[in-house]
A and B are shown apart, each in its own frame.
Chain A
Amino acid sequence: MQSSTPGSSPDIRVLVVIPAYCEERNIGSVVRSIRNLFHHDILVVNDGSTDNTGEAARKAGAITLDLPCNLGIGGAVQTAYMYAIAHGYDAIVRLDADGQHEPADIERLLEPLRDGTADAVIGSRFLGEATYRASFFRMTGIRFFRVLVNLFTGCKFTDPTSGFFAINRHLMQFYSAQYPSDYPEVDSYILMHRLKIRAVEVPVRMYEREKGKSSITPIRAIYYMVKVTLSFLINRIGRIE
């Protein structure tokens, strides 16, 4: 299960998507480490960075979309869905620009999509060997969203805030019209549930970020909890376009 070499079971066109905001120090090595393992096209969505993220991504060999203003993670990833649909990709794998997602696990995410057994595959840091260690506060947040998501979907997801996932074209088409703008991960579970999307989790490895600061501060963490819970509940009853 190394790469998408011609001949491997049903060949699909895969786009690896990395949303990036001010990650000029990490983005190059992340792009290169993916290119060393796979032949998939890599798309970096430069979300209005004030540093040279776009240039660094291009140098490392990624296709780069430069958003003229900062849209937030959801708007940036949605642009990638629009790009993938316009250019005929069958699947998208999304991972973070800070190197916390293990690129070698991309193929694990794609397997269920190739088999056609799932429409969305979410990488969980808590399945399998589970080497990931989180702080108490982060763990509390994750547990809270786990309960919320599992309560409303009736499924057993272990890692509802995971930003390491793969989706097929069917779901991309929906998401390119409607996708939460700020913190899309938790919200997307309720959308998938309502769209009757077949979602599965597979074990992946996640690490602490390599360089630079995480965007999480206590105030933002509280805002995140409130905002995500609210929009999750609104998406439960809201209109789907």
Chain B
Amino acid sequence: MNRLAILSVVTSTLFLLGILELVRRRRLREEYSILWLFGSVIILVLSVKQSWLNWISTLVGISYPPSFLFLVGMFFIFMILIHFSIVISKLMRMNKRLIQEIALLKSSLPPEEPPQNRKEQ
């Protein structure tokens, strides 16, 4: 194993453990960890099994195999960012509904105490 491969194995292992720990402590919801876990597992496997990395790189026409790892990393980062955009859009839609419902609810409540009452206290 060359130095680059060792670095790659160590970082992706630490990353994987970090994500798992965040999920275990409930700091990260499972649904948001899936893409992170998948990405780091694939990078880890390809770093350990260099023959697989070489084979797949030749297959897609990449002459320098480790750059395929970057490709995998980029792909998952894009997927995760798109996922976030979808989640933010959904949150905005839900947030809008909540703001509207609050305004409608407030209007159906009796008016607040008139300010004169405060002077009497």
B103 interface contact, C-beta 8 A: yes
With most chain A CB atoms within 10 A of its CB, the pick from B99, B102, B103, B106 is B103
Q: How far is the CA of A236 from the CA of B78 in the complex (A)?
A: 27
B4 beta carbon closer than 8 Å to chain A: no
Contacts of B106 in A (CB 8 A): 65-66
Asked whether any CB of chain B lies closer than 8 Å to the CB of A79, the reply is yes
Let me know if B99 and A69 touch, CB within 8 A: yes
Asked if B107 and A67 make an inter-chain contact with CB atoms under 8 angstroms apart, the answer reads no
In the complex, are the beta carbons of A83 and B99 less than 8 A apart? no
User: Residues of A within 8 Å of B, CB-based: how many?
Assistant: 16
Question: Is A71's CB under 8 angstroms from B104's CB?
Answer: no
**Contact A68:B104 (CB < 8 A) given known A75-B96, A181-B96:** no
Taking a contact as CB atoms closer than 8 A, the residue among A65, A69, A75 that contacts B104 in the complex is A65
Question: Residues of B with Cβ closer than 8 Å to A?
Answer: 96, 99-100, 102-104, 106-107
- Determine if A71 and B107 form an interchain contact, defined as CB atoms under 8 angstroms apart: no
Q: Using CB atoms and an 8 Å cutoff, list the residues of chain A in contact with chain B.
A: 45, 63-69, 71, 75, 78-79, 82-83, 86, 181
With a CB–CB cut-off of 8 A, which chain B residues contact A63?
Answer: 107
A71 to B100, CA, bound (A): 9
Complex formed: what's the CA distance from A75 to B102 in Å? Answer: 13
Residue of A nearest to B92 (CB): A181
- Of all chain A residues, the one with the shortest Cβ separation from B100 is A79
Write out the residue numbers on chain A whose beta carbons fall within 8 Å of the beta carbon of B103: 45, 65-68, 79
- Residue contact B107 to A68, C-beta cutoff 8 Å: no
- New A-B contacts (8) at CB < 8 Å, excluding given A66-B103, A86-B104: A64-B107, A67-B103, A68-B99, A75-B99, A78-B100, A79-B103, A82-B100, A181-B96
State whether B96 touches A71 (Cβ < 8 A).
Answer: yes
**A29 to B: closest C-beta gap in Å:** 23
A67 to B99, CA, bound (A): 6
